[in-house]
Structure 1
């Protein structure tokens, strides 16, 4: 039987901890036998889980015999990881043990150095901090999970469930994983990545920026067919000067700003109206349905139709 050790540290997120417990413990093989044995382990007998105190049945020795180690998220991801935990995880990796993190558990895994030079993800709110704290890690904030073979990382708590189902499929095939997904009332695969859950905000402009009047005009005029020359004329600048000042003050180009403004408007219409996708693309200013779908997917990470299916408000 495949042994899964779930490591609980002080400040562990209860939902991230319960997800692998529920999913792996309930998974059955075709003949009805349990597919996994799950053990919760911790450096100390009791762990602070916020709303309650968790009593862990196993100590860190459980990591020595595990086939897979799961690292749930922690409330304070920037906190220091105990040296003993780091040492145990590195030793487990040296034996070939598979290690996967959920949400901010990526910070625990990154602290071991095992993610250096590898692609990884975490919750999009913490992605910038992960990249800043561990610059050797290639952080991808747009995906639900990343599978590097021995080391895996996932985004938010729900993406942790996606990752667990992915691991079951790797271990026992699609049929067993599909049964586990049905028990969790989840699709075996979800469309898109976590970018679809992030509303593309206006890129920040410094307070008092000389571009503020132009930025307001761009947002108001997003549905119009505008070129860089049109925007430069509105600003009273040459296109070269506009591009330089615009990037200095916003970190992006005028057309990129315009595209993101259009996508924000399209997201609102997809969520709140029943208009056709192509009609929405036309309304927000894209010249063709193809251009709209390509730009929307590039920014949001999924198609307009899939976004509507996931986020449209009930009438």
Structure 2
């Protein structure tokens, strides 16, 4: 099998991690192949004129090519960053002409804005960094913008949310191209999750809630995340924080922006979704592991928040080896 060329576009004020994160994943996959690295990925970078670019962090990157001389890629990757706010028209024109020729088109963060400017997302479902989803939808009404997932696949086009989501997407592509073992080896080397599924919300429970200012409340937040199957009643959590239940409930909501009960619900739901997606454990076992107690309680939580039963959710996003692609169920963002 011939190596897949991954061409990464470079431009001034690009986000450096949008470039280097996916590049490290693809490079790691090549290293995993031992004496046959040429069978995996051939990574190349290119800027408009072939000259160095200065990223938004001040890091200078030296490309391999000018865009006019760049090899035809299998995977064309467009990073995000401040440089996408007022893109060079020549870059947009190049994407408009050459983007459709790539068998796989990928953006990280606000790189989706460049793809949209070039008309490459029209009629497609896409995402970008949560802070720019409204702008993408407003400026490009032909794009179906989904602000929730960390990445979205629509045919041969894949768009992802901010920074680390580009690593998640790159790992998913490696798993698709070379199997789970290779992707797992890369993930272990980079000390990241093998795969946060693309349908996972950009806001996890920990990001949806603010981090409490006071140490006892922060410790409680961490305890909830690590022990979803424990007694997480207000009384128990208040005792852990050494506060009265009434004082604890008021302070937790004031400092995190949500009630203790809502935070517990989000943590349990997030854990249950991950286990349904990544394991073959039965619903009864998962309901116990995540603190629901019974499959019926877990079913009610899924129906209330995701509009789907655990069994239906698993059919759409099933465990490795039996995975079938699907759309993410709608999810309430209310707290």
Is the pair's TM-score, using the shorter chain for normalization, greater than 0.5? yes
Alignment partner, residue 268 of structure 1: 263
Alpha-carbon distance in structure 2 between the residues aligned to 1:143 and 1:81: 25
C-alpha distance after superposition, 1:248-284 (max 9, x if no partner): xxxxxxxxxxxxxx975434346999xx8449xxxxx
C-alpha distance after superposition, 1:161-214 (max 9, x if no partner): 11101111222233322222222223332255124435289xxxxxxxxxxxxx
Verify the 8 A CA contact 1:155 1:194 in the aligned structure 2: no
Q: How far 1:293 sits from its partner (Å)? A: 4.1
- Is 1:41 aligned to residue 46 of structure 2? yes
Paired residue total: 235
Compared CA separation, residues 266 and 62, structure 1 to 2 (3 A): farther
Alignment partner, residue 16 of structure 2: 14
- Runs (5+) with no aligned partner, structure 2: 211-233, 235-256, 269-289, 308-312, 314-335
Compared CA separation, residues 137 and 81, structure 1 to 2 (3 A): same
Verify the 8 A CA contact 1:63 1:89 in the aligned structure 2: no
SS at match of 1:114: coil
Alignment partner, residue 294 of structure 1: 303
**172, 177, 180: which is aligned to 2:178?**
172
- Is 1:187 aligned to residue 193 of structure 2? yes
Verify the 8 A CA contact 1:131 1:137 in the aligned structure 2: yes
Verify the 8 A CA contact 1:3 1:68 in the aligned structure 2: yes
Verify the 8 A CA contact 1:263 1:296 in the aligned structure 2: no
Q: How far 1:68 sits from its partner (Å)? A: 1.1
Compared CA separation, residues 294 and 18, structure 1 to 2 (3 A): same
TM value normalised by structure 2: 0.60
Alpha-carbon distance in structure 2 between the residues aligned to 1:272 and 1:80: 39
Alignment partner, residue 4 of structure 2: 2
**149, 154, 162: which is aligned to 1:156?**
162
Alignment partner, residue 204 of structure 1: none
TM value normalised by structure 1: 0.64
**142, 145, 148: which is aligned to 2:148?**
142
Q: Cα RMSD (Å) of the superposition?
A: 3.6
Alpha-carbon distance in structure 2 between the residues aligned to 1:98 and 1:46: 25
Structure 1 or 2, whichever has the larger Rg, is: 1
Alpha-carbon distance in structure 2 between the residues aligned to 1:128 and 1:185: 32
Alpha-carbon distance in structure 1 between the residues aligned to 2:267 and 2:170: 33
Q: Which has the higher contact order (CA 8 A, sep 6+)?
A: 1
Alignment partner, residue 24 of structure 1: 26
Alpha-carbon distance in structure 2 between the residues aligned to 1:48 and 1:16: 13
